Amino acid sequence: MLEYLYHDLLLLENQLPWFVLERLYNLTANNTNQTSASLIKLGINFFSQAVTDERILDPNFPFEIFHILDLIRIVIVVPFKDLEFQKKEDRVEEQEEKKNEPELPQRIPNATTLSEAGVQFRRSKNTPDCIMNIEFNFKNGVFTIPPLGIDEKTGPLFRNLIAFEQCHHSRLHKITSYAVLMDNLIDTSKDVDLLREKIILVNWLSPEDAAQFFNELYNDTTVIGFYYGSLCKDVNKYYNTYQNTWMGTWNKWMEILRRDYLSTPWKVISFIAAVILLLLTLLQTIYTIHQV
C-alpha cells in the first residue's frame, strides 16, 4: 500500500494546496500548537527514498510551499549552488531576468564517447550532495557527478517534477535542465554501464530500461534558462580540442581496449592467452624463416 501511496501522492493532478494539508494536519495533531515544520518533516521522511539530503530539515523552513510535489522539488533544488526560492519581492525580479536571458540546451557527446576522448567520470565526494551539482573541470577533463539511484519510482517522480516546472511560472526549469544533461550523457546501455562502474548510477533496472528512462524523460517539453549551458560549452571545447591530439587518439584506443577486452577477469585471461598465442606464432614464423 505504501508504494501506491508514494506514487499517487506525487502525481501532479492529485496535489492539494499546502495550506489545506496544513490545516487538516493541525486539526488531527495531538498538540494544537504544532507548527508546519512538523508536517514538512513528516512529508520528507515519507519520501526519504527520493530525498536523502537532511540539511534542509530546519525548524524555520523559509520557503513558500504550494503542495507535496513542490516540497520534494524544493528539497532537491535548494542545495543546487545558488538559492532559487527567495522572498516574494525578489522572486518576480529573478524570473524576469531569466526570461530576458534565455539559454537553449546545447548537446554534448554521450558518456562513452567522452570517456574515449579522455574525459574522466568521478562520483562526487560530498555525501549527501544535491544531484544537480554536476561539475566539469576543463583543465584535467574530469566530470564530477553526484550519485543517483534509479528504480521503478524514479521515473514517475521526475516526470511529475518536470511537468510541474512546465506549467508553473514561478518554478524555474532546473529539474528539466538536469534531465536534458543526463539524457545527453546517456544514450545506450553502454553509457549506463560506464556510469554504474564509476558508482555514479545505482541502477535497479536493466541497463536498457535505465537508458530508455533518460531518453524519454523530458519528451514534449521546453527548457527556458538551461542551467548547464557553460558546462556543456566547456565539455564540447575540451572534446573537440582533445580528440584531435595524439593523446586523445591514444586514450580512445586504451578506453576501447579496457572496455572490450579488460572489463572482466575472463576477458583479461582471454586477452592474455591471445597475446601469448600471437607471440608464439610470431616466434615460430621468425624461426622458420631463419631455418630456410
pLDDT in tens, 95-124: 444 444 445 678 899 999 898 888 889 998
Look at residues 132, 153, 122 and name the one whose alpha carbon lies nearest to residue 9: 153
For cell 585471461, name the residue: 269
Q: Can you give the residue ranges of every domain in the chain? A: 2-78, 111-242, 262-292
Which of 32-36, 157-161, 266-270 has the lowest average pLDDT? 32-36
Chain mean pLDDT for the chain: 80
In sequence order, which residues have a C-beta less than 8 Å from that of residue 282 and are 6 or more positions away? none
User: Helix, strand or coil for residue 88?
Assistant: helix
Q: What is the pLDDT of residues 182-224, one digit of tens each?
A: 999 999 999 999 999 999 998 888 889 999 999 988 888 888 8
pLDDT score of 109: 93
Count H helices and E strands in the chain, helices first.
13, 5
Which of 25-34, 199-208, 243-252 has the lowest average pLDDT? 243-252
Greater pLDDT, 52 or 262:
262
d(CA 198, CA 142): 12
In sequence order, which residues have a C-beta less than 8 Å from that of residue 109 and are 6 or more positions away? 117, 184, 235, 236, 239
Positive or negative: CA dihedral 14, 205, 176, 136: positive
Rounded alpha-carbon distances, angstroms, from residue 213 to 58, 174, 219: 33, 18, 11
In sequence order, which residues have a C-beta less than 8 Å from that of residue 99 and are 6 or more positions away? 224, 225
User: Helix, strand or coil for residue 216?
Assistant: coil
Q: What is the pLDDT of residues 45-74, one digit of tens each?
A: 888 765 544 444 444 566 789 999 999 998
Question: What's 14's DSSP letter?
Answer: G
